[in-house]
Amino acid sequence: MNTVSIMAHADDEMRCLGALLKCRARGDRLYFVTVTDGSKGFVQRPEIERAEAAAIRHAEMSALAAAAGGEYINLGEPDEFLYDTPEVRMKLIEAIRQAGAELIFTHYHEDYNADHIAVNRLVHHCAMQASLPVLPTASAPLAAPPAIFQCEPFGAIHFPASYYVDISAYHEEKVRLLLHHASQETAMQMAVGSGFAGLCERPEAFRGEQAGCRYAEAFIPMPGRGTIKPYPVLP
């Protein structure tokens, strides 16, 4: 199965990376798609030029994807100014087709960040269009719409999880991989007082307690034409 993380920014895969690693273990091919360039993620260096910031974020995400055995596609839209436009839709449709997506993880429809919400709506539309021939791209249309699961957001947002993935065996590898985002480890320590280890440990232990394991990630399927499958999809 071709499994794809479609996120607004590099490091947003944090909420599904354990599930991705478990998908890899069953033989899936992994793809990481980010829609923005992540250039506004430097609270520690607010004066940094966009091109330099984007290059750092691209290198970090590329390193994580390679270490995870996956491929990285960066659409390069301006960070914190993401809008649903025809051009962005076509770029994302091509990325979904290029990856041959059969399973997608993306943002929840409620979130603290408007770029995250925009990606949720883009995925909702573009995943359907990716299987139809009416919008031609370099890659051929998908054979069928992919399954889509929304990841748990940060903060005080109600998230009625209905699917859980036991990632106990992958938690440590997940944190190690996330440390490839060295700039964001520093930025989050400054912004929220916690790095990747803490940001993963607390919610995963909570969801693990609910699911009867040590660590788990929680998801909600995205309803849409063809996105709900009559067979098991998550590992």
Tokens of 13: 């895969």
Q: Could you tell me if residue 70 is inside a domain?
A: yes
Among 156, 52, 148, 77, residue whose Cα is nearest residue 107:
148
What whole-number percentage of the chain has pLDDT above 90?
A: 98
Q: Is the pTM of this model over 0.95?
A: yes
Q: Is 186 helix (H, G, I), strand (E, B) or coil?
A: helix
Domain membership of residue 91 as a residue range: 2-221
pLDDT of residue 182: 97
Q: What does the pLDDT average to over 170-177?
A: 98
What does the mean pLDDT of the chain come to? 97
Q: How many Cα atoms occupy the beta-carbon half-sphere of 99 within 13 Å?
A: 31
Q: Could you tell me if residue 210 is inside a domain?
A: yes
pLDDT of residue 16: 98
pLDDT of residue 231: 95
On whether the CB atoms of residues 41 and 12 are closer than 8 A, the answer is no
pLDDT of residue 181: 98
**Burial class of residue 17 (count of CB atoms within 10 Å of its CB; 0-12, 13-18, 19+):** buried
Task: Give residue-wise pLDDT tens across range 91-129.
Answer: 999 999 999 999 999 999 999 999 999 999 999 999 999
What whole-number percentage of the chain has pLDDT above 70?
A: 100
Q: Could you tell me if residue 226 is inside a domain?
A: no
Number of domains in the chain: 1
Instruction: Give the CATH number of the domain where residue 38 resides.
Output: 3.40.50.10320
pLDDT of residue 131: 97
Tokens of 222: 């995205």
pLDDT of residue 165: 98
**Burial class of residue 186 (count of CB atoms within 10 Å of its CB; 0-12, 13-18, 19+):** middle
